Amino acid sequence: MDKPVLIIMAAGMGSRYGGLKQMGRTQAGIVYWQQNKSMMGMAASSTITTPSGALAIDMSGMTGTVKTVRPNSNKNTLYILGANDEMPEGLENSNVVKGGKAAQISIVDGQGFYTPTTVMAEKVTYTRTFKPGVWETVALPFAPQQWPAQSKVLSFAEESEDGKALFAETDVMERNVPYLVMVASDGEQSFSATDARIASSQNSSMIQATDDYRFIGQTLYTAVQNIFSLNDEGTAFEPVSSLRAAPFRAYFTTTAEIDKIEVPAGDFSGITQPFTHHPSSTTHHVYDLQGRCVQHPVRGLYIQGGKKVVVR
């Protein structure tokens, strides 16, 4: 990412980073990104107060100028420095990125997350409080290697021949892919990874799609319309005319003429660890007629590869 340049405008014109005709001199400055992904500029000084709406702030090359940074209230905000920059005072408990690398990135639920550049993190953690025994959507900007021990994860697998959205249990969670997750215990739960890559938010999307369905996640508060949102019981995605979708959640859009998208029933009878399944890229999952993934089908009618099959 290019070094920030603050363009000093004529009196009364204000200042912004890039894209404007220069009305005066230029000098090194600081840029930050807001909830709507817009980029703003500010002058460097000895003490920087992070704007309340900033999700990421780039202070690269400001060693010697910026001595102290006052973080904002968003625990997910990224503080970006150059590889050889000294860390200003005040950032000891914040998400600091130096030269594209971070020792620790901590992401909490309920606040937006945005990175203007790819980050390699020695460790990244996402924490959230779940309702036990209820399916919830999860969409993360990194690939978790660990998550709650007593849990189940569903991926949006494919679309049946008669147009139903089908889900399959999985033991792998990928970066920028939305999932359904059910945990057995209440309280705060963590998803984490080491040596993790967090791709630039500017070039990333969180979409799983078939001909008729799009399962869409986000890491920012997002205003959406005419979508299917997971109900409070976690049993189905139901139509909603407008919604302010929360970060790290997902919703469906569809061209199919349906009144809801049902989610397979789930419980933890006899489950003491994460479901372990290693799907082959060339093997279709098998489902019953209710859209539930079946590991060991017995005699009956099933759906595989979008077609009905009979097990005799």
Q: For 9-31, how does the pLDDT look when each residue is reduced to its tens digit (9 = 90+)?
A: 333 333 333 333 333 445 568 99
pLDDT in tens, 179-237: 999 999 888 999 999 999 999 998 889 999 999 999 999 999 999 999 999 999 999 99
Find the Cα–Cα–Cα–Cα dihedral 254, 255, 256, 262, rounded to 10°: 10
Q: Please, what sign has the CA dihedral across residues 222, 251, 111, 115? A: negative
Look at strands 222-230 and 236-245 and give their pairing.
antiparallel
Quote the radius of gyration of the chain (alpha carbons, Å).
23
Residue closest to 311 by CA, chosen among 282, 278, 290, 289? 289
Q: For the whole model, what pTM was predicted? A: 0.79
pLDDT in tens, 40-58: 999 999 999 999 999 999 9
Amino acid at the residue 254: T
Contacting residues for 130 by C-beta, under 8 A, at least 6 apart: 136, 148, 181, 183, 186, 189
The 3-state DSSP class for residue 135 equals coil
Please tell me the predicted confidence (pLDDT) of residue 150.
85
> How far is 244 from 236, CA to CA, in rounded Å?
18
